[in-house]
């Protein structure tokens, strides 16, 4: 091992940036701490504007050749990256679990296989991406997707590699080059991805990884005039700063931001199903942007729903995420834990009643919490907590349910539990959300558009929508006798 390598559960991870096909160290470092036990995993190269600028320059230099690479060859390399992910799936799973505290069983069975699928899906979608030619007064219209240029992709800590590759894969497939800036709390699997991509034959400079604090390198990336696209997943305040930074160059943005999504439970719902959906909102210790954190339950079944929920939630096991029996792991960082507890204690002080939880556990664990007797305009109802904290309110009828559901500044997702198909159709049509699930949760297909409304985001990605964002769309119109000389 070298001074620039750390070892996580036997897996070697390079702590330096990946720029222009080479490892680059910074003079300063920052500690990477595991949320499981608070141990320092290692010191990570702390990027500055110098490394950020170098990464954009490397992406710019690599862009012409990669953009000119035939679609089939780009797709082949993306499939090779997927092969590399699958080959190192166990290593990626244990490193990510150690780094961000999410369940190892989930990483093994769902998250890391999805990482590989992200590359395969967009590689295959690229090969069938087309728009049928059409005529206008005898003229032929041909629509094409042209690579846009270097892209800056800024990704969060709650599902680091999966959400990074959700952006990296379509950007690369489209023929763009990438500067990936992973969250400083979870940098390790992005470094491993750089190794995997290089081994798969991705040319130098096509993928670059710059680590560090957003406050120190973010502006150098997002205000750079050579950057052609910026995609960000994270908080609303950070998105506003990125938007302001990008505005000088009119750089197009894709923003997937916070959520305060509702779960609407009607009296005619299968209550066992509704309770299962409700308990699922504690997934990843509540650190899921799509989580339905606001339970809206029809008055006539609220008492029974609550009883069953408390019983079901009481069966959850909180503990070490590396243990197969664990259902809820730690929260990511002491600062996040403070934020979560602050929300809860302020809500209690304002009159909220604790149904379950409402307190910290040992270390960076927070007890699964449900609060009721909360006002619609209260902080706990209106603001994203991003922890295992849920609220319960009741409603009398459909109109009130929809009004309460839509009464926040967010609009990322919504979930509806009902046994009446006509009601489902009426209610879902009125909900302000980028994704609505009826009698299910977290069913996602990469063909579908994904994004949020209101303060939950700008734009949509997925399927052709991703290529629409990561490309410059061109329409070429040819006259019926366009090839004939006018002489």
pLDDT tens string 408-432? 999 999 999 999 999 999 999 999 9
Residues 244 and 306 in one domain: no
Looking at the fold, whether 279 and 424 belong to one and the same domain comes out as yes
122 and 207 belong to one structural domain: yes
Are 212 and 68 in the same domain? yes
Per-residue pLDDT at 482: 58
The pLDDT assigned to 95 comes to 98
Question: CATH number for the domain including 58?
Answer: 3.40.605.10
pLDDT at 3: 85
**461 domain residue, yes or no:** yes
H or E, element range at 438? strand 435-438
- Domain membership of residue 443 (yes or no) is no
Sites in the chain below the pLDDT cut of 50: 487
319 is a domain residue: yes
pLDDT score of 481: 78
Same domain, 118 and 31: yes
Burial class (CB in 10 A: 0-12, 13-18, 19+), 484: exposed
Domain count, the chain: 2
- Which residues span the domain enclosing 363? 262-438
Torsion of CA 215, 216, 222, 226, to 10 degrees: 180
Same domain for 50 and 174, yes or no, is: yes
**pLDDT value of residue 300:** 97
**Considering the domain boundaries, does residue 270 fall inside one?**
yes
Give me the CATH number covering residue 358: 3.40.309.10
Among candidate residues 96, 151, 289, 471, the one labeled active-site is 289
> Residue 251 falls within a domain, yes or no?
yes
Could you tell me if residue 480 is inside a domain? no
Alpha carbon distance, N-terminus to C-terminus of the chain? 73
pTM of structure: 0.95
Catalytic residue among 51, 96, 184, 256: 256
Regarding whether 224 and 96 lie in a shared domain, the answer is yes
Euclidean distance between CA atoms 321 and 363, whole angstroms? 13
Q: Same structural domain for residues 228 and 345?
A: no
Distance CA 407, CA 62 (A): 47
Residues 345 and 470 in one domain: no
Query: Same structural domain for residues 237 and 139?
Result: yes
Question: What is the Cα–Cα distance from 90 to 108, expressed in whole angstroms?
Answer: 7
CA 140 to chain centre: 40
Q: Is 304 one of the annotated active-site residues of the chain?
A: no
User: Could you read off the pLDDT of 366-409 as tens digits, one per residue?
Assistant: 999 999 999 999 999 999 999 999 999 999 999 999 999 999 99
Active site residue 289: yes
Residues 145 and 271 in one domain: no
3-class SS at 173? helix
């Amino acid at each position: 091992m070298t001074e620039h390598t750390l070892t996580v559960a036997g897996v070697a991870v390079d702590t330096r940036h990946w720029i222009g096909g080479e490892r680059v160290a910074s003079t300063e470092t920052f500690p990477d701490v595991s949320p499981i036990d608070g141990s320092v995993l290692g010191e990570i190269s702390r990027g500055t504007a110098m490394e950020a600028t170098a990464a954009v320059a490397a992406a710019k230099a690599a862009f012409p050749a990669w953009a000119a690479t035939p679609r089939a060859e780009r797709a082949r390399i993306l499939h090779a990256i997927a092969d590399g992910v699958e080959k190192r799936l166990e290593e990626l799973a244990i490193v990510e679990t150690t780094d961000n505290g999410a369940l190892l069983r989930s990483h093994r069975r769902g998250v890391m296989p999805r990482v590989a699928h992200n590359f395969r899906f967009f590689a295959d979608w690229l090969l069938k991406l087309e728009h049928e030619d059409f005529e206008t007064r005898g003229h032929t219209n041909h629509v094409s997707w042209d690579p846009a240029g270097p892209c800056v992709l800024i990704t969060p800590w709650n599902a680091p590699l999966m959400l990074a590759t959700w952006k990296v894969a379509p950007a690369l497939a489209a023929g763009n080059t990438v500067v990936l800036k992973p969250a400083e709390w979870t940098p390790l699997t992005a470094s491993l991805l750089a190794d995997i991509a290089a081994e798969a034959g991705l040319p130098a400079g096509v993928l670059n990884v710059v680590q560090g604090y957003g406050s120190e390198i973010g502006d150098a990336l997002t205000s750079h005039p050579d950057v052609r696209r910026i995609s960000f997943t994270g908080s609303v305040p950070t998105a506003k700063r990125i938007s302001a930074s990008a505005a000088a160059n009119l750089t197009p943005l894709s923003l997937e931001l916070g959520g305060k999504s509702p779960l609407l439970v009607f009296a005619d719902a299968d209550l066992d199903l509704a309770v299962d959906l409700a308990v699922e909102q504690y997934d990843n210790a509540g650190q899921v942007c799509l989580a339905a954190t606001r339970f809206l339950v029809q008055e006539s079944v609220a008492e029974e729903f609550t009883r069953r929920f408390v019983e079901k939630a009481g069966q959850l096991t909180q503990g070490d995420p590396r243990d197969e029996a664990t259902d809820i792991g730690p929260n990511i960082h002491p600062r996040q834990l403070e934020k979560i507890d602050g929300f809860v204690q302020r809500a209690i002080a304002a009159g909220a009643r604790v149904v379950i939880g409402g307190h910290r556990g040992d270390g960076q664990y927070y007890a699964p919490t449900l609060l009721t007797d909360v006002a619609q305009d209260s902080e706990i109802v209106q603001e994203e907590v991003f922890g295992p904290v849920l609220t319960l309110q009741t409603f009398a009828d459909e109109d009130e349910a929809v009004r309460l559901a839509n009464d926040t500044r967010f609009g990322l997702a919504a979930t509806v539990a009902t046994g009446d198909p006509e009601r489902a159709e009426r209610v879902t049509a009125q909900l302000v959300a980028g994704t609505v699930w009826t009698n299910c949760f977290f069913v996602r297909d990469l063909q579908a558009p994904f994004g949020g409304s209101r303060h939950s985001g700008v734009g949509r990605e997925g399927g052709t929508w991703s290529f629409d964002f990561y490309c410059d769309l061109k329409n070429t119109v040819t006259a019926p006798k366009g090839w004939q000389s006018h002489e």
